[in-house]
Structure 1
Amino acid sequence: MWKYVLFIFNLLLAVTVQSDLRFRRQSDINNFIIETFNNCNCVNYYQCDSNNEIVTDGEGLLEPRLKDINEESQNNTRIICKGGKFEGEIVCCKLNDNNRTESIDFKNSTNRISTEKPIHECGAQRTQINVRIIVDKEDNNDIIPIGGEFPWIAAIYEKDNAGKWVFYCSGALIHPKVILTANHYFHRKNAIDYKVVVTGDVELSSIGKDVNNERNIVEIVNHPKFYSGGLYNDGSLLFLDKPFDISKTNSINTICLPPDNLEMDSGSCLTAGWGKGSIIDGVQVLKKVALPLVPRIQCQEQLRQTRLGTKFNLHDSFICAGGEKGKDACRGDGGSPLMCLLPGERRYFHMGIVSWGVGCGDENVPGIYTNVIKIKSWIIEELQKKDINV
């Protein structure tokens, strides 16, 4: 009997600790944003002196006597951080020497702080916090991005039989009036039945919510060598009725195409989408996941261990990423970009298009992406036909 009670107690304790850890992680991210925009550090209120500077010599802290927060009312300019046992326990306070580090590490995370205005060139993020890759290995597979982190990701809507616009798939803005997405969604489809929304926001928008960020599709150009049976050359270009004016907005941008002659089969890249598991508290939000690129031969061998069989041959129009348990794109993420950093830069290029997989998030079973390097010449050719340069 006592063993059973002890087991239940430990289980409840574990759940409580896990919940607390998740809260703390979210609190850390919120405070990181507060610190960045206000040039200060979140500390206990009693570690912040009357000049809103952090106490660094220990004065008054060797035997701290915590006061009621109301006694701090002589300084009403303090910025309140998240966390603490009561409101106002944690405040944002400046360092005495006014110095700040350029980067902050959140457990295997790399975050670059940028206070510059948005750079109007492809692959540049539209957030003051230029987040590289955030991966919390203790807490599952994917994380909600910061608004503007992926300002090129497009939500594509289809008109259903009742005339209602419903979310269909994702794509990426490679030019202010061109979306790159997966062919299998648009094979033998009519442009008039689809609309595109690009906002740079995390929350999935809807048709009619912000007409300034909506576009009609006037033409669908599918890859001429697309094979529906094996999904080879799974790329499609959606030409819009008018361009997004990325020079006047701080929320939308294009993603770069891959550099010429790039050879890359290792490293970590990102994908993000509004697919399976993206609904949180009734709201559909963009979720991202960092994935390792998998060399072609290794990927083919791993896929041969699945239901595809030992004779399966991976077509050269594909690349592979993932293969780590619980970390993958999944149903509903089709058409989303696989994004990698340009060598030596903080800008992203379009490495792959979410195409297909065997299950979702199984260990040693990578996800399959259209290799944008392989179809780049076709993309450029189609754009040049319309006098579009990227």
Structure 2
Amino acid sequence: MDPMDEGMRYTPGSSDKDWDTAVTFLPASDNKKLEKKRGPGKVGIIVGLVILAAVLALIIGLLVWHFHFRKDLKLQKIYTGSLRITNQVFVDAYENPDSAEFKNLANQVMDQLKSMYSESPELPKYYIGSRVQAFSEGSVIAYYESEFAVPVGQEAAVDRAVSSLSETYSTKVRRAQQGPLVFDHVVSSALDTRLFSKARTSTRFAQHARSSAEETIKSPGFPDQPYTPNSFVQWQLRGDPGHVLKLSFDTFYLEKNCTNDFVRVYDSLVTMDKHLMAEKCGFYSPSNPLTFISSRNVMLVTFVTNEEGNFPGFRARVTQFSRDSGELACGGKLSGSSGSFKSPNFPSYYPPSTTCQWDIEVPNSKFIKLKFPKFMVSTGSPNCPGDNVQIVGKSTLCGQQPANTMVTVNSNQVSVVFKSDSSQVDRGFSATYEVFEPSDPCPDQFQCNNKRCIDPSLRCDGWNDCGDGTEEKNCKCDASMIQCRNEVCKPMFWRCDGVNDCGDDTDELNCGCKIGEFKCKNDQCVSEKLKCDGNPDCKDGSDEDGCTRDICKASTFACNNGKCITKQNPMCDGQDDCGDNSDESSCDCGKKAYTNSRIVGGQEADMGEFPWQVSLHVKNTAHVCGASIISDLWLVTAAHCVQDDVKIKYAQAGTWEAYLGLHRQTEKQKATKRFLKQIIPHKNYNSHTYDNDIALMELDSPVTFSATIRPICLPTATDVFPTGETVTISGWGATREGGAGAPVLQKANVRIINGTVCDELMNGQITSRMTCAGVLSGGVDACQGDSGGPMSFLTNDRMFLAGVVSWGDGCARRNKPGIYTNVPKFRAWIKEKTGV
């Protein structure tokens, strides 16, 4: 029996469907009361008119509210900022918010902020008021919050107006329309909404580091108990004039999801994103501590927690040192045949608003080679608009660069300039320089055609380390390598794996098969168990030659008319193989919205390129896992994504929310959100081996398909994705091992890897329900946060769900492919549970 014919069926109700079964009909005590009267009478008419008038008044009231008062729905917007008062001198009393001096100056600042906002046509009608939070030296810097009540839909206009006004006052010394204060350097930004939740308990501390004494700050309860839930704690830290502050965490252990609990460090005394140095959560080892240095004598630390999942917390030491002490000295003139330099405070975080320039000069007739063993400078982007290192006249570097990134300069002089802006610091870089002869640019190393220098041991190892393959040409291989006829060397474990790795088939010739394997006519080896199973596991199909069996047992598709098809991937190929067109039905899937065609080593996907991609969030938190749309009600994801842990009930449908049609994680409001009705993990999922790592999710209501929301095609149970074929992976997971998730959907192409080779590389952990894919030289892979997402295979101009992101050994490591759940193995199970 077809499994879809089993179970509960829908039974039509009686024809009396309009009866309300909750109503009980009682017998009348007087039958005459049931007789129909001839008319309502005068009283009835009057009562009817009154009721009609009341109904009309109610309708009119609702319409007025909807079209008039509803327009007045307003959102609270808070902007934090700072400004420099140029005609005042800082006095110690300004540190105390209860002093008369503080209150007097604060009132003047608030008056002039109101006057400043009145210069904009947008702001006065929404302005509620301002509050000064602190003052600091230089001449006097005021830190403030300004609150606005903004009508729904006007948020962007108010953002622009506040930004424009700040730019007007940012450099020129100006006096507002009224008031005695003259100020400039006005900086402001919208406050992160996570920082002003009314449900949280708010606490503020103020501490001043004196001389060389050490101050300590710690999370509430540390170290005796976990930190308290629903808290917002601030530490306003100050140093003496002419000093900077150093904040060093000797213990840091928070929840790893920064959406829930996090610490923020500001180069300011107010929570202003333009001076946000870093946001941190998770665990940091004392051997690799978090250390931050301010650009001035102030710093703000904020700590935010949600209602659950509390951890030990943190403790940090606060010290100050003179800005002229030399501890942050950088730049200068370097000479000689070699040397080194590094960013300030390396390997800890460099301070914001810093500029360093190193002028390097080596002996005449020599050239300069720069090497960066470590390089982590801000977040980076193609044009490096924020923090960066500029090799003047040569190139500009930012972001995270590969270890030992090298730049050659065909001159004996070069300047290297490091700049950091006012926000988002990182650990910086270390650098070395050495000379080389123009005629020998890679002393003791191998020079690639692209001028890159690599270690000689990497030559002829089968991997493209140069990037242009130079070091893998004209090779003489040792006994541990495959000697290809085209003079290329390849790793021995690629021999006889069914993939032409040499490019001339050398690695696939004269292959002797192991015990329990069948030798194909093309010398490929496959398991004896695969012979006559209906699938052409040999590339030439010879494992199916001469097999006597019922053709329908080996079919790839069973037609509605009873016909059985043995053609590979017959569905949705534009040909009526069945004769009743049943192989071409249900083909509204797998099509991209547009023709344009961090996953580790990938690139940003185009909008709508993967309309079946889903972002799964634990309610009101950040992205956790991926999923794929297979119908208007069903998603496919990984079973390991929906396993409970001690803190979160991932197996419960009520824990999740699904975002469909999402491209940027910061634009969830543009996506379609659905909650879940049920989750069905595979009953044989093994949490130790990740075998049967697949689960189904039913949405609470159907989704409407659009240009950015479409299902992916499901393969048949006998579909084969050949070794060496290219597949595509996509997701918002980490763009490097141990890194943060990608804000924009990423994509990457990898290739299917032979199962026998993969099992050897993964120490025998591969089952028949797993598929291996990747780039064995490393650099491209799925990573944390991509789990549950699709591995797509293009055939017949449609994308099919070949696999589900499951597990791997790290991310993008050499010889460590990604492991994916083999979807064809679960096609019948998906049909049984969903009907799709």
Give the superposition deviation at 1:253.
Answer: 0.7
Aligned match of 1:269:
727
More strand by share: 2
Give the superposition deviation at 1:8.
Answer: 5.4
Aligned match of 1:350:
801
CA distance 1:120–1:258, shift in 2 (3 Å): closer
Aligned match of 1:255:
712
From 305, 310, 316, the counterpart of 2:768:
316
CA distance 1:221–1:281, shift in 2 (3 Å): closer
Kindly indicate whether the alpha-carbon contact (under 8 Å) linking 1:299 and 1:366 is maintained by their aligned counterparts in 2.
yes
Counterparts in 2 of 1:159-178, with a 5 A limit? 159=619, 164-178=620-634
**Per the alignment, in what secondary structure is the counterpart of residue 768 of structure 2?**
coil
Aligned match of 1:146:
606
- CA–CA separation in structure 2 for the residues paired with 1:18 and 1:195: 39
Question: Partner amino acid for 1:7?
Answer: I
Give the superposition deviation at 1:17.
Answer: 7.6
- CA–CA separation in structure 2 for the residues paired with 1:348 and 1:275: 21
CA distance 1:16–1:281, shift in 2 (3 Å): farther
CA distance 1:141–1:373, shift in 2 (3 Å): same
Kindly indicate whether the alpha-carbon contact (under 8 Å) linking 2:772 and 2:817 is maintained by their aligned counterparts in 1.
yes
- CA–CA separation in structure 2 for the residues paired with 1:315 and 1:329: 19
Kindly indicate whether the alpha-carbon contact (under 8 Å) linking 1:141 and 1:289 is maintained by their aligned counterparts in 2.
yes
CA distance 1:8–1:258, shift in 2 (3 Å): same
Counterparts in 2 of 1:277-292, with a 5 A limit? 277=735, 284-292=743-751
Kindly indicate whether the alpha-carbon contact (under 8 Å) linking 1:123 and 1:348 is maintained by their aligned counterparts in 2.
yes
Q: Which structure is higher in RCO with an 8 Å CA cutoff and minimum separation 6? A: 1
**Per the alignment, in what secondary structure is the counterpart of residue 214 of structure 1?**
strand
- Residue-by-residue CA offset, 1:267-291 (whole Å, 9 max, x unaligned): 010101111128x999711111110
Kindly indicate whether the alpha-carbon contact (under 8 Å) linking 1:275 and 1:333 is maintained by their aligned counterparts in 2.
yes
Q: Is 1:202 matched up with 2:563?
A: no
- Residue-by-residue CA offset, 1:88-126 (whole Å, 9 max, x unaligned): xxxxxxxxxxxxxxxxxxxxxxxxxxxxxxx98200001
Normalising by structure 1, we get a TM-score of 0.61
CA distance 1:273–1:8, shift in 2 (3 Å): same
**Per the alignment, in what secondary structure is the counterpart of residue 810 of structure 2?**
coil
Give the superposition deviation at 1:9.
Answer: 7.1
**Per the alignment, in what secondary structure is the counterpart of residue 284 of structure 1?**
coil
- CA–CA separation in structure 2 for the residues paired with 1:358 and 1:281: 18
Question: Partner amino acid for 1:264?
Answer: F
Aligned pairs, number: 260
Counterparts in 2 of 1:237-256, with a 5 A limit? 237-246=696-705, 249-256=706-713
CA distance 1:268–1:283, shift in 2 (3 Å): closer
Kindly indicate whether the alpha-carbon contact (under 8 Å) linking 1:265 and 1:296 is maintained by their aligned counterparts in 2.
no
Question: Partner amino acid for 2:766?
Answer: L
- Residue-by-residue CA offset, 1:137-192 (whole Å, 9 max, x unaligned): xxx82111111110110001103xxxx33321110101111110000111351101
Q: Which consecutive residues of structure 2, in runs of 5 or more, have no partner in the other structure?
A: 1-334, 339-360, 362-366, 373-390, 399-585, 645-650
Q: Is 1:235 matched up with 2:694?
A: yes
CA distance 1:250–1:341, shift in 2 (3 Å): same
CA distance 1:217–1:303, shift in 2 (3 Å): same
Aligned match of 2:474:
none
Give the superposition deviation at 1:354.
Answer: 0.6
Aligned match of 1:191:
653
Kindly indicate whether the alpha-carbon contact (under 8 Å) linking 1:353 and 1:371 is maintained by their aligned counterparts in 2.
yes
From 357, 368, 376, the counterpart of 1:7:
368
Give the superposition deviation at 1:254.
Answer: 0.6
Counterparts in 2 of 1:115-130, with a 5 A limit? 121-129=588-596
Q: Is 1:300 matched up with 2:759?
A: yes
Aligned match of 2:815:
364
Kindly indicate whether the alpha-carbon contact (under 8 Å) linking 2:741 and 2:785 is maintained by their aligned counterparts in 1.
no
**Per the alignment, in what secondary structure is the counterpart of residue 288 of structure 1?**
strand
**Per the alignment, in what secondary structure is the counterpart of residue 157 of structure 1?**
strand
CA distance 1:239–1:14, shift in 2 (3 Å): farther
- CA–CA separation in structure 2 for the residues paired with 1:264 and 1:238: 25
Kindly indicate whether the alpha-carbon contact (under 8 Å) linking 1:197 and 1:205 is maintained by their aligned counterparts in 2.
no
- CA–CA separation in structure 2 for the residues paired with 1:363 and 1:275: 19
- Residue-by-residue CA offset, 1:40-86 (whole Å, 9 max, x unaligned): xxxxxxxxxxxxxxxxxxxxxxxxxxxxxxxxxxxxxxxxxxxxxxx
Aligned match of 2:617:
157
Kindly indicate whether the alpha-carbon contact (under 8 Å) linking 2:783 and 2:811 is maintained by their aligned counterparts in 1.
yes
What's the Cα RMSD here? Answer: 3.0
- CA–CA separation in structure 1 for the residues paired with 2:393 and 2:770: 42
- Residue-by-residue CA offset, 1:290-334 (whole Å, 9 max, x unaligned): 101001101001112xxxxxxx34111111001231110011111
CA distance 1:367–1:250, shift in 2 (3 Å): same
Normalising by structure 2, we get a TM-score of 0.29
**Per the alignment, in what secondary structure is the counterpart of residue 149 of structure 1?**
coil
CA distance 1:331–1:176, shift in 2 (3 Å): same
**Per the alignment, in what secondary structure is the counterpart of residue 175 of structure 1?**
coil
- CA–CA separation in structure 2 for the residues paired with 1:352 and 1:271: 9
- CA–CA separation in structure 1 for the residues paired with 2:828 and 2:741: 42
Question: Partner amino acid for 1:173?
Answer: I
**Per the alignment, in what secondary structure is the counterpart of residue 375 of structure 1?**
helix
Question: Partner amino acid for 1:290?
Answer: N
The higher radius of gyration belongs to 2
- Residue-by-residue CA offset, 1:220-273 (whole Å, 9 max, x unaligned): 011111111111101010000112111xx2221110111342122320101011
CA distance 1:245–1:356, shift in 2 (3 Å): same
Aligned match of 2:782:
329
Give the superposition deviation at 1:338.
Answer: 0.5
Question: Partner amino acid for 2:592?
Answer: Q
Counterparts in 2 of 1:370-381, with a 5 A limit? 370-381=821-832
- CA–CA separation in structure 2 for the residues paired with 1:214 and 1:183: 21
Aligned match of 1:181:
637
Question: Partner amino acid for 2:716?
Answer: P
Question: Partner amino acid for 1:192?
Answer: G
Question: Partner amino acid for 1:287?
Answer: Q
Aligned match of 1:16:
395
Report % sequence identity: 28
Kindly indicate whether the alpha-carbon contact (under 8 Å) linking 1:172 and 1:179 is maintained by their aligned counterparts in 2.
yes
Give the superposition deviation at 1:206.
Answer: 6.0
- CA–CA separation in structure 1 for the residues paired with 2:686 and 2:652: 19
Q: Is 1:339 matched up with 2:700?
A: no
Question: Partner amino acid for 2:811?
Answer: C
